[in-house]
């Protein structure tokens, strides 16, 4: 597996995220939380992601995910699964240089219907 070398960060720079592979599309979710965050998600395995800094977690109701944000600037940086066996997480590509993601296809995830 390649090293996580593509780097993004929250606005103030306290949280940095490095990913091992660039996305080929970004996902937009219409669930009650994601539609507020407005994130463009890129799904990876936890082994493909390196996060530094002290992000603050938020768990939505009965949701199985923790959404992480910077306590200083408020940017939502990524989410992780609460179940340690669930080998999937996502980073918010809006924390990365727009050149990496802005022209990619956007997939709609119908999280509101789950
Ligand atoms: Zn920040």
Instruction: Compute, in angstroms, the gap from residue 18 CA to the centroid of ligand 1.
Output: 15
Instruction: Compute, in angstroms, the gap from residue 88 CA to the centroid of ligand 1.
Output: 24
DSSP 31-92: STTHHHHT--EEEE-GGGEEEES--EEEE-TT-SEEEEE-TTT--EEEEEESSTT---EEEE
The pLDDT value recorded for residue 3 is 79
The pLDDT value recorded for residue 40 is 97
Q: Which two tokens stand for residue 84?
A: 């340690």
Q: pLDDT tens string for the chain (114 positions)?
A: 567 899 999 999 999 999 999 999 999 999 999 999 999 999 999 999 999 999 999 998 777 899 999 999 999 999 999 998 999 999 999 999 999 999 999 999 988 876
Instruction: Compute, in angstroms, the gap from residue 49 CA to the centroid of ligand 1.
Output: 18
Instruction: Compute, in angstroms, the gap from residue 92 CA to the centroid of ligand 1.
Output: 13
Domains of the chain by range and CATH?
6-109 (2.170.150.70)
The pLDDT value recorded for residue 60 is 83
């Amino acid at each position: 597996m390649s090293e996580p070398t593509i780097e993004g960060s929250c606005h103030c720079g306290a949280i940095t995220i490095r990913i091992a592979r660039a996305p080929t599309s970004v996902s937009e979710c219409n669930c009650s939380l994601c539609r507020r965050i407005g994130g463009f998600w890129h799904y990876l395995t936890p082994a493909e992601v390196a996060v530094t800094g002290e992000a603050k977690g938020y768990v939505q109701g009965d949701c199985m995910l923790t959404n992480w944000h910077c306590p200083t600037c408020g940017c939502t940086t990524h989410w992780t699964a609460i179940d340690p066996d669930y080998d999937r997480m996502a980073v918010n590509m809006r924390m990365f240089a727009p050149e990496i993601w802005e022209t990619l296809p956007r997939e709609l995830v119908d999280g509101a219907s789950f």
